[in-house]
Structure 1
């Protein structure tokens, strides 16, 4: 399966977002569309967002195993 729809969709979402602070809410809405009735959002099924929140830094050792 081609990953072109994913790359196109991510590029469009990031361009429309305008800033990182809105990404969690946009991703939540996008995933709702992907698992709902929006056939144009199929490319986003299974997406996730990982970032380091400046107000709550990731643990230094094994960050993906820590209390996030």
Structure 2
């Protein structure tokens, strides 16, 4: 799980927030039966935007969690 934020606010706070987003999604997976040792979560803050942070709508798209599955 990789958490992301938009670029509004303090970068340190955004880093923490992105990690919390990823951890929250990870916890949902664990609660539904996934093994803890098979899940990793990390935060990227605003460092990897999906789209440019040029509008309210775009910033909303950048506030996300990517789920990466490695077989």
User: The TM-score by the shorter chain falls in which range?
Assistant: 0.3 to 0.5
* TM-score, length of structure 1 as denominator length: 0.34
The structure with higher relative contact order (CA 8 Å, sep 6+) is 2
* TM-score, length of structure 2 as denominator length: 0.33
Rg larger for? 1
More helix as a share of residues: 1
